[in-house]
Amino acid sequence: MNGAFAPDSRALTPAVGKALEVGIVVMFVGVMTTALYGGVVPDYRNAVGDEVADRTTVAAAERVENAVPPPARNARVVHRVDLPASIRGSGYRIAVTGRTLVLEHPSPEIEARTRLALPARVDDVSGGWESGEDAVVVVTGDEDELSVRLTDRRTVEGDG
């Protein structure tokens, strides 16, 4: 063991140098994580959620439009609609106002709406869907009056 501790001419002792390095790295990781998760990542998630909402709305609108049958004396059509279980990590709702299909989501940046192109025979469109349920579109009526209802499979089966 060395008995003599000579004064040294280094800039930093190894321990301090290492501690500084560790501190700098930890701070860097912290700053990076905060910057990303605070601003960038939620923005990207919202953008992707908005795109998914747009595509879901368009697919749902097309499904509703395709469910309307040609004129028939007594029509009853039940079509299943595939909806994603969640958008941006949370459930959502699809509602109808007038002839417009609207996707409502808790996050304010995510919203989509499109007008339904239905023939004049369709009298009224009502109902709505919640994500996670078995969504169906039910079209009933005769040659001159059709009514379109958005509901879930259990209600339809309950009605018989």
Partner 1 sequence: MSPNSRGQANLASLAIALVALVSATTLGLVVADGALANADREPLERRAAVAAADRVVTAPGTTVRPNVLDREAMQTVGGGALDDLAPPVEGRAVRLRLDDETLFERGDPIGGTTVQRIVLVAESTTRTRTVTVEDGGSHTLPRRTTHVELVFATDSTVETVRLNGRVVLHDPDGLRGRFSVRASRYETATLAFEGGSGDVEIVSYPLQTRKATLRVTVDD
Partner 2 sequence: MTERSSCRCESAARGQLSISVVEAAIGVLFLFAATATFALGVPDAGAEEAQLDQYAQDAATVLSQEPPRHAGATRLSEVSRSESAFERERDALERRVERILPDNLMFRVVTPHGAVGFRRPTDTPSGRATVPTLSGRVAIWVWYA
Please count the residues of this chain forming the interface with partner 2, following the rule CB under 8 A.
4
Binding of residue 26 to partner 1 (CB under 8 A): no
- What is residue 98's DSSP assignment? T
Its sign, for the CA torsion 43, 83, 147, 58, is positive
Sole binder of partner 1 in the list 80, 93, 115, 154 (CB under 8 A): 115
**Does 14 help bind partner 2 (rule: CB under 8 A)?**
no
Q: Tell me how far the alpha carbon of residue 7 is from its chain's centroid.
A: 66
Nearest to 88 by CA among 40, 34, 44, 132: 44
Q: Indicate which single residue of 7, 89, 158, 160 sits in contact with partner 2 (rule: CB under 8 A).
A: 7
Sign of CA dihedral 106, 131, 137, 116: positive
The secondary structure of 21-62 as a DSSP string is HHHHHHHHHHHHHHHIIIIIHHHHHHHHHHHHHHHHHHHHHH
Please tell me whether residue 32 binds partner 1 under the rule CB under 8 A. Answer: yes
Does residue 61 touch partner 1 according to CB under 8 A? yes
The site map against partner 2 for 56-95 (x = CB under 8 A) is ----------------------------------------
Of residues 35 and 72, the one with the C-beta less far from partner 2: 35
Contact call for residue 55 and partner 1 (CB under 8 A): yes
CA distance 78 to 62: 15
Q: Which of 154, 159, 152, 157 minimizes the C-alpha distance to 128?
A: 152
Among 58, 69, 132, 145, which residue sits at the site for partner 1 (rule: CB under 8 A)?
A: 58
- The residue ranges that bind partner 1 (CB under 8 A) are 8-14, 17, 20-21, 24-25, 28, 32, 36, 40, 44, 47-48, 51, 54-55, 57-58, 61-62, 99, 112, 114-118
